[in-house]
Chain A
Amino acid sequence: MIRIAAVGDIHYGDDSTGRLLPALREVHEHADLLLIAGDLTRRGAAAEAEVLAAELSQVQVPVVAVLGNHDYEAGEPERVRAAIEKAGAVVLEGESATVRADGGTVGVAGVKGFGGGFAGASGSSFGEPEMKLFMATTELAAAALADSLESLASSDLRIALMHYAPIPETLQGERLEIYPFLGSYLLCEPVDRIGADLVLHGHAHRGREKGVTPGGTAVRNVAEPVLRHAYAVYQLGG
């Protein structure tokens, strides 16, 4: 059995020092690894990431994260990434990482993702260049996710980690009008085509935790305001 701790949307800023530290210090008592589903910072400033990095450096299990839209606001996502990685965590963007735990190997395919909407109510790559660019951003993220999942074929467990939502079910509670800004079905298609044991996302603070892909894979929205805890713990493979 492998235990996965997960949270997203923790939005660290210069006012966050110590906020999650007590819970982070004891992750190893509950889980074999910690996954963070984006929006590590309030507005993507490197100084904010350093506040979080100081706390992540005290986590005693491997940490794998993706960035979220907030981590791009200050225009320095590469500095956010560098700060987090300096603390020993791995940040994925269209990449994969493998973690060895007592219960086996866990492959994590990570991507921020983007919006677009869901099957039957999705934007199309049509018309103005701006609209084509919008949808191409999501299509590229989905293609990178597919490649990352395929690269993990030999892992005992495969987790798809993203910020934006792959299904509308875990958005329920958000206003329907903003669904296209919260995720895209394109992020779900590789999961059902290639396979994964669990999909984790954040971004939808007013959504709900539990959902499932059309192909039957469990999806969990781990945005902290949804969990109402510092992190959730999921047990797989046993």
Chain B
Amino acid sequence: MDAQDHYLAAEIQEALARDPRLAELHLDVAVVGGAVHITGEVATIERRDAVLDLVRSRFGGRDVHCHVTVTPTEGPQEPEAIG
């Protein structure tokens, strides 16, 4: 793996955690050949947009592939009997 890609992926991951719009610890970040790939799930559409905004504004000038989806909220699932 390219060393620059390696450290950039870690830096983006940390930025996603520290950005107060996101506080996001559950996204996967990979950088391959300078292109950023982000996958995972967030709670709202606003946070999905903020992921893209953060990466473009702070780590601009590269291809960004954002495959982040929004967690569904339908409820509830079928009851389960325990015990």
Q: Do A and B bind each other?
A: yes
Q: A interface vs B, CB < 8 Å?
A: 3, 5, 10-13, 15-16, 19-20, 22-23, 26, 30-31, 42-43, 70, 73, 197-198, 205-206, 218, 224-225, 227-237
Residues of chain B within 8 A (CB-CB) of A10 are 43
Q: B interface vs A, CB < 8 Å?
A: 20, 22-23, 26, 41, 43-44, 46-47, 71-83
Interface contact B44-A13, CB-CB below 8 Å = yes
Known: A218-B83, A229-B72. A42 touches B23 (CB 8 A): yes
Interface contact B20-A19, CB-CB below 8 Å = no
Interface contact B26-A43, CB-CB below 8 Å = no
Interface contact B74-A236, CB-CB below 8 Å = no
Main secondary structure on A side of the interface with B: loop
Our pick among B22, B46, B72, B82 for the contact of A234 (Cβ within 8 Å) is B82
23 contacts between A and B (CB under 8 A): A19-B43, A20-B73, A23-B74, A23-B75, A30-B79, A31-B76, A42-B22, A197-B82, A205-B26, A205-B41, A225-B41, A227-B77, A229-B72, A230-B73, A230-B74, A231-B75, A232-B76, A233-B78, A234-B79, A234-B82, A235-B80, A235-B81, A236-B83
**Min C-beta distance of A25 to chain B, whole Å:** 10
Our pick among A15, A23, A224, A232 for the contact of B46 (Cβ within 8 Å) is A15
Known: A11-B43, A225-B26. A30 touches B76 (CB 8 A): yes
Interface contact B75-A229, CB-CB below 8 Å = yes
**Min C-beta distance of A198 to chain B, whole Å:** 6
Our pick among A42, A197, A225 for the contact of B71 (Cβ within 8 Å) is A225
